[in-house]
Every structure is written in structure tokens, then in C-alpha cells.
């Protein structure tokens, strides 16, 4: 495939009816504002155009939009039952010891008490220990610092999930 050709998944995404495209985007990110921005910019010539639109939309999310996006993410160590996406993304916790899982549960609860939302991290490729260390480090942040870290992590997650849509075979 040359860099100029449109991946089959992107061609399919561009051709989806609006409600189906919105559903695919909303599954990638639970922010309605983000999904609507990406929907409005279709069709995308390249995957990079889609990723850049995602980055721009993520950068413009309000605090309320971020809350809505985070509500779509299960706590680390507790992927949604029957949800292959969260199970795949949190694979680093799958083989974790019971002690580490219990520690993550406590840290998740402490984080949620402090910030009012789940601990959000791009878990893809991270070990359970790396996620534990990150929550321990981030729990000391100010709410403003943490909101910007969450925005960055959400952007990474969105790109990974959009890549799955773009690279999907028929």
C-alpha cells in the first residue's frame, strides 16, 4: 500500500451513514463533542488527517466533555465484562498478582476520591506495575495538572482506537 492510498477501514468509515459513524466514534471515545467534531470533518483523505482532527478535538474538550469521555472508561484492573477493547488495552493487569490487583483497586478509589473520576492512562503496552507507579505519582497532582495529563492520555487512547477503525479489514 502506498502512503497515498486510503486504508480500507478509513474508506468504509467515510462511507458510513451518519448514525453508524457516530456510533463507531462514540465507541472509541465517549465524548459527544469529540465525536461530533470528527463526524463533521468527514470524509478524511488519510488516516493522519483523522488523527490530527482527533488531536484538535481532544485539545478543545471542556472539563465537562472530559468528564463524559472518562465515564466511558472502566477503572484500571477492572475492564468491563464482555468488552474486548478494555480487556485488550488493560492486558498488562491480566497477569498481575492478587496483591497488585488489590493495590490498584485501593489506588483507583483514592484517585477517584481526590479527582472525582477514574484514573485514566493509556494502558496499552504498560505493565500492571507501570500503571500502579503512574497512579501513585499522579495522585499528588493538582486538579488542573491532572486534567491536562488526562487530556494527553485520552488523546493517545483515541488515536489507538481510531487506528483500529482505520486498519480494520472488511
Residues 170, 156: Cα–Cα separation, whole Å? 25
**Which tens digits make up the pLDDT trace of 151-161?**
999 999 999 99
**DSSP class per residue in 63-86:** HHHHHHHHHTSPPTT-PPTT-HHH
Residues 144, 13: Cα–Cα separation, whole Å? 35
Fold of 73-139: UraD-like (1.10.3330)
* Inter-residue contact 28 to 60 (CB < 8 Å): no
**Which tens digits make up the pLDDT trace of 94-123?**
888 999 989 999 999 999 999 999 999 998
Report domain extents, the chain. Answer: 1-66+154-170, 73-139
pTM of the prediction? Answer: 0.90
**Which tens digits make up the pLDDT trace of 43-96?**
999 999 999 999 999 999 999 999 999 988 888 777 777 777 777 777 778 888
Amino acid at each position: 500500500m502506498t502512503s497515498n492510498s486510503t486504508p480500507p477501514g478509513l474508506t468504509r468509515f467515510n462511507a458510513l451513514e451518519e448514525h453508524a459513524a457516530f456510533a463507531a466514534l462514540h465507541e472509541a471515545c465517549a465524548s459527544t463533542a469529540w465525536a461530533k467534531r470528527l463526524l463533521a470533518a468527514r470524509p478524511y483523505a488519510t488516516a493522519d488527517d483523522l488523527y490530527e482532527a482527533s488531536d484538535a478535538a481532544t485539545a478543545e474538550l471542556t472539563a465537562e466533555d472530559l468528564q463524559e469521555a472518562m465515564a466511558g472508561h472502566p477503572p484500571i484492573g477492572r475492564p468491563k465484562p464482555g468488552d474486548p477493547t478494555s480487556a485488550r488495552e488493560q492486558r498488562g493487569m491480566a497477569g498481575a498478582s492478587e496483591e497488585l490487583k488489590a493495590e490498584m483497586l485501593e489506588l483507583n478509589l483514592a484517585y477517584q476520591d481526590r479527582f472525582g473520576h477514574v484514573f485514566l492512562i493509556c494502558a496499552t503496552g504498560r505493565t500492571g506495575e507501570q500503571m500502579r507507579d503512574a497512579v501513585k505519582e499522579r495522585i499528588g497532582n493538582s486538579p488542573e495538572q491532572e486534567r491536562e495529563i488526562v487530556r494527553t492520555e485520552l488523546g493517545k487512547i483515541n488515536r489507538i482506537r481510531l487506528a483500529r477503525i482505520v486498519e480494520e479489514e472488511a
